[in-house]
Amino acid sequence: MGLQIGDIAPDFQAESTEGNIRFHEWLGDSWGVLFSHPKNFTPVCTTELGYTAKLKPEFERRGVKVVGLSVDAIDAHAKWADDIEETQGHRPNFPLIADADRRVATLYGMLHPNASDTLTVRSVFVIGPDKKVKLTLNYPASTGRNFDEVLRVIDSLQLTARHSVATPVNWKQGDDVIIVPAVSDEAAKERFPGGWTTLKPYLRVLPQPR
């Protein structure tokens, strides 16, 4: 069984395009996104890395560090970065781990033998400042990921961490949120003095806290 939500994200040491990384130390007190790529010089990965580079200011605004992983050696990453910049308009501006021995991929369950026993699937792990896994996603090699959705989930996770609220279906920034069931009405009065709307005892809705 692979990593699950709430598990401690495994620590590791690996070479990357920005030097040697000790993962937990590199994360520090930040949130993190670790995402894998089946192989260098593949078309879908090229588009993903370019778009993630474009989004880096959005991740930084949320206190999130981003790191990619490929099973190719470090010397192939620089040439690929040239291709990404040429075709996507953005050069990777975050570390890309070289995991040629697939050690990190194995730690994180990124190898799915029924899909490929040598290439990683498109995995995404969102990791909190407590080093616990907050989100896991796995895409097939043929399908590009939606990194706007990754940002949306991070926004939701951070709201929950700060304000004890949950986010409803299709929520986006600025929409109403839900008071989590663990917060009693008495505690909610102190936490949310502006009040809320009770649709059901278990469904209490209020404007997104700022």
Token output for 106: 């194995």
Confidence tier at 77 by pLDDT (50, 70, 90): confident
Question: pLDDT, tens digit, for every residue of 157-192?
Answer: 999 999 999 999 999 999 999 999 999 999 999 999
Question: pLDDT, tens digit, for every residue of 119-158?
Answer: 666 899 999 999 999 999 988 888 999 999 999 999 999 9
Instruction: Determine the pLDDT at residue 112.
Output: 64
Which residues touch 196 (CB under 8 Å, ≥6 apart)?
179, 188, 204, 205, 206
Instruction: Determine the pLDDT at residue 115.
Output: 53
Domain covering 164-206 in this structure, CATH number:
3.30.1020.10
Q: CA-to-CA distance for 10 and 98, rounded, in angstroms?
A: 17
Contact 36, 109 (CB under 8 A): no
Q: Does domain 13-150 have CATH number 1.10.1740.10?
A: no
Confidence tier at 1 by pLDDT (50, 70, 90): low
pLDDT averaged over every residue in the chain: 92
Which of 3, 14, 21, 45 is catalytic? The answer is: 45
Kindly report the pTM of this predicted structure. Answer: 0.92
One DSSP character per residue, the chain reads: ----TTSBPPP-EEEETTEEEEHHHHHTTSEEEEEEES-TT-HHHHHHHHHHHHHHHHHHHTTEEEEEEESS-HHHHHHHHHHHHHHHS----S-EEE-TT-HHHHHTT---TTT-SSS--EEEEEE-TTSBEEEEEEE-TTS---HHHHHHHHHHHHHHHHH-EE--TT--TTS-EEE-TTS-HHHHHHH-TT--EEEETTEEEEPPP-
Domain residue ranges in the chain: 13-150, 164-206
Question: pLDDT, tens digit, for every residue of 40-70?
Answer: 888 999 999 999 999 999 999 999 999 999 8
- Is residue 45 annotated as part of the catalytic site, yes or no? yes
Has residue 113 got a pLDDT over 80?
no
Task: Give the count of beta carbons closer than 10 Å to the beta carbon of residue 33.
Answer: 22
pLDDT: which is higher, 78 or 66: 66
Has residue 33 got a pLDDT over 90?
yes
Instruction: Determine the pLDDT at residue 61.
Output: 97
Q: CA-to-CA distance for 23 and 13, rounded, in angstroms?
A: 6
Instruction: Determine the pLDDT at residue 109.
Output: 87
